[in-house]
A and B are shown apart, each in its own frame.
Chain A
């Protein structure tokens, strides 16, 4: 299969040519007819409301039908193995939508390692380690509001007919 051969070759490509390889991946992906995957991926959004009652604070999640600037939404990505084979090396990549700002420590997922990007998904690192060059030319430690992408690296295999979920919260600017 052209697609399989391409994938095998791809693992050996020198990363110096990342950009051109990426373009090839894109072309190859488009050239191959859509096929049923092993995973089913669902993205849902809800509005998070803080509830203060009897001195206790809790959170309520509502459909994102009425969302105003300054309010918080939570995205849940559910990935389910719908095949009969285990899936591994699972990475969930979620660009933080335009006009939203990521809320610190909100990206979670069972059995995952969470990393972030501040350069549009080109490079990833753990929270608190990323740096960003600002307009004054100086390099600063990136803040959560600088994040552009989140990546959850799922640790281990996802067995057939099982599913997991990851989530993050963001505030509407």
Chain B
């Protein structure tokens, strides 16, 4: 640096005398300020910001002792007679939750993971609670049994923080936490199959809880003072929270990458037995023929409103009260067994199986007599 040229600037308006020694003296008094401070994190809450100006002047061509400033005005010459003009940096509450990874899942998967990050963007150490929300309404299905865990933080954890943790997390200024949320994937969506590509949203909301000293974080409503630390919420709105509410949120997605098998129902009707009047098995007049209707289902989901009807075959007559469902005798009248003959439909056995989960099977036996 060319000091000579810099000095010439100073001399420009001080023709009556040379100010350099005095200015240099001020340099000595203010040496503590000689450093260009960079603080990308924001000045810590509670920091006192102090300012004092010094005035150099002459009267009758004689240099006077410098006068320092004060908030109310100082007119006494000399170092140490002024007073700083101060204010204290207040507590800025700011946080950012960012969704990190989604998850490709299959129905029935256990504890599938999505990840988030939480950053303390305020200017003090801050403790946060974490809450997941798996009941968001703009998705196709809902995951369940969600568990939150803070896996790690950038840099050195704050005092008292042991990782991993499923509890509240205390973060230093601009420290970032990596968060895992693990949820179970249902086998179906309330009975309907989960199709490939369908999604379930998982929200994570972080909320400020306590300050560094353990007191609850509450936005200041008292009258402001330059010498006390006020708490100011300065957070933006997240996906599921408002701005300046001490919370921030983001969402991640569970994406079904393979669909469940749709329910399939099959019916097989076979002759279980033929008993003729002589005790044999000939199909002759008077023989009782018992048919077996096998209801089989596969896949995942719910099968609803299943009604089996079996019209009486030609040249045959229904044997009264011969219907068995899953080895249980059912009556022919309309009652609680949901089975009848000739009531719901003429000359027809009607068996109402109602709703049941796919994968179940039912066996129906009906006996007819050959005319």
Seen from chain A, the residues whose Cβ lies within 8 Å of a Cβ on chain B are 3-4, 7-8, 10-11, 13, 15, 18-19, 21-23, 25-26, 29-30, 32, 34-45, 63-70, 73, 75, 77-80, 82-83, 85-101, 113, 115, 118-126, 129-133, 139, 145-146, 148-149, 151, 153, 155, 158, 172-173
Contacts and interface: CB of A to CB of B under 8 A. Distances in A.
B16 interface: yes
Nearest to A96: B33
Contacts of A92: 53-55
B1 A139 contact: yes
A90 B42 contact: no
23 contacts: A3-B65, A29-B66, A29-B79, A34-B77, A37-B64, A37-B77, A39-B57, A41-B69, A42-B73, A43-B51, A67-B89, A68-B123, A83-B59, A88-B57, A89-B57, A98-B32, A98-B37, A120-B27, A121-B33, A122-B24, A124-B6, A131-B2, A155-B13
Interface stretch (B111-119, B178-186, B222-230): B222-230
B6 A145 contact: no
Contacts of B42: 68-70, 173
A68 B234 contact: yes
> Which 3 A/B pairs are nearest by Cβ-Cβ distance?
A120-B34, A69-B42, A65-B224
B77 A35 contact: yes
B71 interface: yes
Contacts of B78: 29-30, 32, 34-35
B37 A173 contact: yes
Contact of A19 (B24, B26, B40, B234): B24
B69 A77 contact: yes
B24 A22 contact: yes
Nearest to B73: A42
B49 A4 contact: no
Contacts of B26: 93, 121
Contacts of A41: 53-55, 67-70, 73-75, 82
B62 A87 contact: no
A2 to B, nearest CB: 12
B160 interface: no
B60 interface: yes
A69 B123 contact: yes
A93 B278 CA distance: 128
A94 B39 CA distance: 21
Q: Which of A89, A90, A155, A173 has the most CB of B within 10 A?
A: A89
Nearest to A120: B34
Interface in B5-22: 5-7, 9-10, 12-14, 16-22
A122 to B, nearest CB: 5
Nearest to A6: B63
A19 B76 CA distance: 25
Given A68-B89, A94-B53, A34 B70 contact: no
A4 to B, nearest CB: 6
A39 B49 contact: no
B52 interface: yes
A22 B62 contact: no
B73 A40 contact: yes
Given A25-B25, A65-B225, A68-B92, A45 B85 contact: yes
Contacts of B73: 40-42, 78, 80
A96 to B, nearest CB: 7
B43 interface: yes
Nearest to A172: B43
Nearest to A83: B59
